Amino acid sequence: METQLSNGPTCNNTSNGPSTISNNCSSPVESGSIEDSKTNLIVNYLPQNMTQEELKSLFGSIGEIESCKLVRDKITGQSLGYGFVNYVDPKDAEKAINTLNGLRLQTKTIKVSYARPSSASIRDANLYVSGLPKTMTQKELEQLFSQYGRIITSRILVDQVTGVSRGVGFIRFDRRVEAEEAIKGLNCQKPPGATEPITVKFANNPSQKTSQALLSQLYQSPNRRYPGPLAQQAQRFRLDNLLNMAYGVKSRFSPMAIDGVTSLAGINIPGHAGTGWCIFVYNLAPDADESILWQMFGPFGAVTNVKVIRDFNTNKCKGFGFVTMTNYDEAAVAIASLNGYRLGDRVLQVSFKTNKTHKA
DNA sequence: TTAAATT
């Protein structure tokens, strides 16, 4: 696994960017209202199965949304893992950044930030860097590249098991010209203290994932921001699911059977609302809001909607709320994990919603 | 040894 000797096309000056983009289509941003907007956000690292409606549901819990778009592959329709949310009120956009940036959803930690005005100059500004010293940190990587422009994101890929650097990373610049200069300046150069030169070139687009690739994705430690017990249970559960997908291991639950029965026979099953599984959450604090429900349930799987029930006059939470999850088994694990969970000084009761109007 | 960042 050594990339010694400069074999092949390692150290020529590649400028293999996508051949010139034809610009005959109408420019996407001409309304003027979006440029330099304090209301328009870009949301990155969304779970693959998250829909535009779920995106709107999540961000709509902050404030009124003017428009919302999940970006999809033009041909397959698959989510590209990012989207845009444009609020009516700039203060809601700011609040969304403060409360939703870093939110864990399934295997992802989403990023919420202001969208830059769309233009050709910010496209294709992403670099692939390899041959990095294994000891180089993300910060050091940024320091190396920052002399060429404003860095939007940086990342060093790590071994899924050991967490050690793979010597491969990405740098996204604000503008393509900055990326071009960085290639000229750093490709085939040795970073300070390094013994081998690095390779810097334009990055490819990420490829579609098979379920096998999904497996390896799970093992690599994502962002270790809030590695609490809940997240660990959720991750353990996802691992079970992925093992099922990859190797056909039977799960403890049988979501397909139950969902099938429900849709075919119309049998009333607790929590089943047609569009998903409705979960009742009891003993929330008066100041609870939707974000706490997203935070608690999001790591367990696909959450399509959350709602805190409030008093009409005081606008305080009446002590309960609802969460809708798409998949039965994820909902079941969330309930099993969160029922009895201590939130602040309260112990939550979590169950599938029933049709009872009151408890006897 | 290439991960979902500009509608």
Q: Distance, angstroms, CA A41 to C1' B7?
A: 11
Domain presence at residue A360: no
Instruction: Kindly state the percentage of chain A with pLDDT values over 90.
Output: 67
Residue A315 and residue A254 in one domain: yes
Residue A167 and residue A248 in one domain: no
Alpha-carbon distance A342 to A348, whole Å?
Answer: 6
Residue A345 and residue A249 in one domain: yes
Residue A264 and residue A153 in one domain: no
Q: Distance, angstroms, CA A29 to C1' B1?
A: 38
Residue A304 and residue A339 in one domain: yes
The answer to whether A221 CB sits below 7 Å from nucleic acid chain B is no
The answer to whether A166 CB sits below 7 Å from nucleic acid chain B is yes
Run of H or E residues at A177: helix A176-186
Of A248, A347, A338, A342, the residue nearest A297 (C-alpha)? A338
Q: Distance, angstroms, CA A126 to C1' B2?
A: 11
CATH of the domain at A250: 3.30.70.330
Residue A191 and residue A239 in one domain: no
Alpha-carbon distance A18 to A15, whole Å?
Answer: 9
The answer to whether A87 CB sits below 7 Å from nucleic acid chain B is no
Domain count for chain A? 3
Give the pLDDT confidence of A18-64 residue by residue, as tens digits.
332 233 333 333 344 445 789 999 999 999 999 999 999 999 999 99
User: Quick one: average pLDDT of A52-80?
Assistant: 96
Give the pLDDT confidence of A138-177 residue by residue, as tens digits.
999 999 999 999 999 999 999 989 999 999 999 999 999 9
Domain presence at residue A5: no
Residue A267 and residue A320 in one domain: yes
The answer to whether A112 CB sits below 7 Å from nucleic acid chain B is no
Answer with the one of A94, A116, A138 that is the final residue of a domain.
A116
**For residue A247, is pLDDT > 60?**
no
Domain presence at residue A261: yes
Give the pLDDT confidence of A48-59 residue by residue, as tens digits.
999 999 999 999
Structural domain containing residue A87: 40-116
Domain presence at residue A75: yes
- Read off the amino acid at residue A28: P
Supply A153's token pair.
Answer: 């994101």
